[in-house]
Amino acid sequence: MINKELLRSLDDYFDCCIREDLGPGDYSSEACIPSAARGRSELLAKESGIVAGLALADYLLKKFDPDAQLRYFKSDGERVEEGDILFEAEGRIRALLSSERLILNFIQRLSGIATRTSQYVAKASKYGVRVADTRKTTPGMRLLEKAAVRAGGGMNHRMGLYDLIMIKDNHADFAGGIARAVDASRRFLDEEGLKLKIEVETRNLEEVREALKSGWVDIIMLDNFEPGLIREAVDIIDGRTEIEASGNITYENLEDYASTGIDYLSTGALTHSVRSLDMSLRAVFDSP
């Protein structure tokens, strides 16, 4: 989940985000709110979904007001309904106003990712299939967006180019074929003392068979295979490697793919075109 350690690792990124929005100052708030005035605001869900990124509110607000206090009513990965209050914040009013849009932008987007992921997971889990993300993330936000996928019940594929040997079609073509690419990868791992899995992207059944021959492949990706062809590939692989399906998988056709016998499916749709969950930060006043 998104915790303080993760947020601290992105501190420079958040400072850039604040400078982008704040510039030389929040003149609207400075113009009409006394500097010492204190108040409260609350985050309201305006539609149902899965929430993610709530720790960002405390982290970002305290960059504007170190003495601000938050009280949470929901946790990452929890379902919220329209009208639910996710947290209440108390602090200097200028800080509440200056941090409002930044907090909303992050939490709404991450909650949108968690919500979409949960929808995919609900369909795929009926077949024992896991749902994974891809590297199609917003630059600078990968760690946050992949944490949101986990909050929605999904799994992370590789985090970057460093934690898995993934031989894609271009790698194989440039290397002179799948067999040569796999052999070279094994030698590289041995020479560098790295213990990483090897995944091979395949475009047809002939490439599936070629990937199996080496005996060193841990995962075979079936890229842009139709469900019927996936079933043939599953029979050929016969449990010798894990099987991933990717490409042209949508929420509408997901079950057609999940029912083929694969281990997991990956889709960039979890992160690259997600719709943010609707929320608002509003001022809170005690009833007279």
Sequential DSSP letters for 39-70: EEEEEEESS-EE---THHHHHHHHHH-TT-EE
Angle, CA of 146, 150 and 152, to the nearest 5°: 115
Q: What is the CATH code for 4-120+275-284?
A: 3.90.1170.20
pLDDT, position 92? 97
For 103, the 3-state DSSP assignment is: helix
pLDDT, position 153? 98
Question: What is the average pLDDT value for the chain, to the nearest integer?
Answer: 96
Distance of CA 286 to the CA centre of its chain: 38
Are 200 and 218 contacting, i.e. CB atoms less than 8 angstroms apart? no
On the question of pLDDT at 283 being above 70, the answer is: yes
pLDDT, position 184? 97
CA distances, 136 to each of 18, 117, 156 (Å):
24, 14, 12
Stretch 27-46: mean pLDDT: 97
Stretch 57-62: mean pLDDT: 97
On the question of pLDDT at 163 being above 80, the answer is: yes
For the stretch 237-275, pLDDT in tens is 999 999 999 999 999 999 999 999 999 999 999 999 899
Residues classed as catalytic: 101, 136, 168, 201, 223
Cα distance between residue 51 and residue 284, in whole Å: 21
On the question of pLDDT at 158 being above 60, the answer is: yes
For the stretch 207-234, pLDDT in tens is 999 999 989 999 999 999 999 999 999 9
- Give residue 31's pLDDT band: very low, low, confident or very high (50, 70, 90): very high
The answer to whether domain 4-120+275-284 and domain 164-270 are alike in fold is no
pLDDT, position 288? 57
The single-letter code of the amino acid at 256 is: D
* pTM (whole model) above 0.75: yes
Are 133 and 157 contacting, i.e. CB atoms less than 8 angstroms apart? yes
Cα distance between residue 163 and residue 140, in whole Å: 18
Closest of 3, 5, 10, 20 to residue 54, by C-alpha: 3
Cα distance between residue 228 and residue 67, in whole Å: 60
pLDDT, position 286? 73
- Give residue 285's pLDDT band: very low, low, confident or very high (50, 70, 90): confident
In the chain, domain spans: 4-120+275-284, 164-270
Cα distance between residue 85 and residue 229, in whole Å: 47
CATH class for the domain made up of 164-270: alpha beta
For the stretch 86-133, pLDDT in tens is 999 999 999 999 999 999 999 999 999 999 999 999 999 999 999 999
On the question of pLDDT at 179 being above 70, the answer is: yes
On the question of pLDDT at 287 being above 70, the answer is: no
For the stretch 189-200, pLDDT in tens is 999 999 999 999
- Give residue 166's pLDDT band: very low, low, confident or very high (50, 70, 90): very high
pLDDT, position 185? 98
On the question of pLDDT at 139 being above 80, the answer is: yes
pLDDT, position 1? 76
By percentage, how much of the chain surpasses pLDDT 90?
96
85 strand-pairing partners: 44
